[in-house]
């Protein structure tokens, strides 16, 4: 079979161009360090690389979420620490207010100090993050958590929700707590509260304390209503039941709770005992009522009894509020610790994904350089052969 010069020329040219293409591909592999540039280079590795890259991107997004939630929780923790300090200061002032030697002016001074604590707590409750979002407003993060109504009472304006973020493929986490949870709640371990009504007598109380958790009605609240018997002596009824004679200094055991009463009640006086969670806990209302009481002059024994009862109730309410804040702080700390663990896991995943992706698409430099050199020699040989063949002609032999 005869081969024309054009055929020989084209065959050699095509061979040389193919080798040049392989050589350029090998050069790119060496310079970029990547074995799979196009899907055609290795379709299976390219498909797996897409999945790994998606996993890397998702892991990076979770890392960003964890960074954001760490910032939010750290700010909340700092704010709650300040709230706890403010409550501690208020409790100290309550103890001072119980000193029977204080004058009206002295109690007025304490009320002024409590007003400063009250204002500080309102400011803390309406704290914002670096983006201007209110920390304790729930989903209503563009509105202050608390605002005063027409009567000057602080009202919660947020909702009962909490903002959550996805921090891993299988877990989401609250980035904060709403104001109702922090300032209008008590912990599950809170006990019981006794509150005197708008009494006119000198009745005071001590307690309530837990006496018998096995009582059939344990935990149920009750109300004592005082009246004057036909003979002029004081008596009381429990939740409207038949009256019982009142004896000053006696300790009552009702629904598994004990309550010691002193003083002389007036007709119509009352005393209500309830679980702390059912007594409408409100840190701001507690301080507001306490301030008002301390600003009221003490003119007789009835006023002194009212002061004593208010201080007793407020002391328990503030203690419950502090326990609740500490519970929330503990929860925040637990979430921060959990985020740290997830960060460690995320870093390990990132390293694993990176190694997997490298195994799929990165070049083996030893193999790539060797192949590059081999193709370079082969291409040079092909070029020299092409040049030699191109010069052949029958006319040289005629």
Measure the CA–CA gap between 35 and 369, rounded to whole angstroms: 12
Say if residue 38's pLDDT is above 80.
Answer: no
For residue 103, how far is the Cα from the chain centroid? 44
Instruction: Read off the pLDDT of residues 290-333 as tens digits, 9 standing for 90 and up.
Output: 999 999 999 999 999 999 999 999 999 999 999 999 999 999 99
Give pLDDT, residue 365.
Answer: 46
Q: Which residue has the higher pLDDT, 169 or 8?
A: 169
Instruction: Please determine, for residue 20, whether its predicted confidence score (pLDDT) is greater than 60.
Output: no
Predicted local confidence at residue 115, as pLDDT: 97
Taking 60 as the threshold, does the pLDDT of residue 141 lie above it?
yes
Query: Topology of 34-188+281-362 in CATH?
Result: f41 fragment of flagellin, N-terminal domain (1.20.1330)
Model pLDDT for residues 82-108, shown as the tens digit of each residue: 999 999 999 999 999 999 899 999 999
Q: What confidence score (pLDDT) does residue 379 get?
A: 62
Q: How confident is the model at residue 335 (pLDDT cuts 50, 70, 90)?
A: very high
> In the chain, which ranges are continuous DSSP H helix?
5-32, 43-97, 104-125, 179-183, 283-294, 301-361, 365-391
- For residue 358, give the nearest of 49, 31, 37 by alpha carbon: 49
Cβ(258)–Cβ(213) under 8 Å?
A: no
Q: Which residues pair with 228 in a beta bridge?
A: 234
Task: Give the whole-number percent of the chain exceeding pLDDT 70.
Answer: 79
Other residues' Cβ atoms within 10 Å of the Cβ of residue 205: 22
Strand, coil or helix: what is 110?
Answer: helix
Which residues, in sequence order, are bridge partners of residue 147? Answer: 155
- CA separation for the pair 167, 299 (Å, rounded): 61
**Distance between CA atoms of residues 375 and 381, nearest Å:** 10
Domains of the chain by residue range: 34-188+281-362, 192-280
Other C-beta atoms within 10 Å of 203: how many? 28
Please name which of 31, 120, 51 lies closest in space to residue 356, comparing C-alpha atoms.
Answer: 51
pLDDT surpassing 90 at residue 244: yes
Q: What is the mean pLDDT of the chain?
A: 86
Q: Give the model's pLDDT for residue 26.
A: 55
* pTM confidence score: 0.82
201, 302 contact by CB (below 8 A): yes
Question: What residues contact residue 96 under an 8 Å CB cut-off, 6+ apart?
Answer: 102, 110
CA 195 – CA 276 distance, rounded (Å): 11
Average pLDDT of the residues in 376-393: 60
Q: Quote the DSSP letter at residue 215.
A: S
* pLDDT cut 90: percent of the chain above it: 69
Position 361 scores a pLDDT of: 62
How confident is the model over 176-204, as pLDDT tens digits? 999 999 999 999 889 999 999 999 999 99
Torsion sign (Cα): 67, 73, 76, 81: negative
pLDDT band at 46 (very low <50, low <70, confident <90, very high): confident
Does position 36 have pLDDT exceeding 90, yes or no? Answer: no
* pLDDT tens per residue, range 351-377: 888 778 666 665 544 555 556 556 555
Among 178, 170, 177, 172, CA closest to 65: 172
Q: Please report the pLDDT score of residue 18 as a whole number.
A: 60
Alpha-carbon span 43 to 36, nearest angstrom: 9
């Amino acid at each position: 079979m005869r081969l024309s010069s054009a055929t020989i020329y084209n065959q050699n040219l095509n061979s040389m161009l193919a080798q040049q293409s392989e050589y350029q591909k090998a050069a790119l592999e060496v310079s970029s360090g990547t074995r799979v540039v196009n899907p055609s280079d290795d379709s299976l590795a390219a498909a797996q690389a897409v999945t790994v890259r998606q996993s890397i991107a998702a892991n990076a997004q979770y890392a960003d979420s964890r960074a954001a939630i760490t910032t939010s929780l750290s700010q909340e923790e700092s704010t709650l620490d300040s709230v706890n300090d403010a409550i501690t200061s208020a409790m100290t002032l309550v103890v001072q207010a119980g000193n029977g030697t204080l004058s009206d002016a002295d109690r007025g001074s304490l009320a002024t100090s409590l007003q400063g604590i009250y204002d500080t707590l309102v400011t803390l409750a309406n704290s914002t993050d670096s983006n201007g979002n209110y920390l304790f407003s729930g989903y209503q993060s563009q509105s202050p958590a608390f605002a005063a109504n027409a009567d000057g009472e602080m009202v919660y304006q947020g909702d009962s929700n909490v903002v959550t973020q996805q921090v891993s493929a299988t877990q989401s986490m609250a980035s904060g707590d709403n104001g109702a949870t922090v300032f209008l709640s008590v912990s599950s371990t809170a006990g019981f509260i006794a509150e005197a009504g708008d009494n006119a007598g000198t009745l005071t109380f001590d307690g309530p304390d837990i006496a018998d958790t096995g009582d059939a009605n344990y935990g149920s609240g009750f109300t004592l209503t005082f009246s004057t018997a036909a003979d002029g002596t004081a008596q009381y009824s429990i939740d409207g039941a038949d009256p019982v004679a009142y004896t000053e200094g006696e300790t009552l055991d009702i629904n598994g709770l004990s309550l010691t009463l002193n003083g002389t009640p007036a007709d119509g006086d009352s005393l209500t005992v309830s679980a702390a969670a059912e007594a409408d806990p409100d840190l701001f209302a507690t301080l507001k009522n306490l301030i008002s009481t301390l600003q009221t002059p003490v003119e007789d024994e009835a006023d002194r009894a009212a002061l004593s009862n208010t201080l007793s109730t407020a002391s328990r309410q503030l203690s419950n509020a502090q326990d609740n804040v500490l519970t929330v702080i503990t929860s925040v700390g637990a979430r921060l610790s959990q985020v740290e663990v997830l960060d460690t896991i995320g870093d390990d995943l990132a390293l694993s994904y990176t190694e997997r992706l490298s195994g799929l698409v990165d070049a083996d430099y030893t193999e790539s350089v060797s192949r590059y050199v081999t193709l370079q020699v082969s291409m040079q040989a092909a070029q020299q052969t092409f040049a030699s063949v191109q010069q052949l002609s029958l006319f040289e032999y005629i």
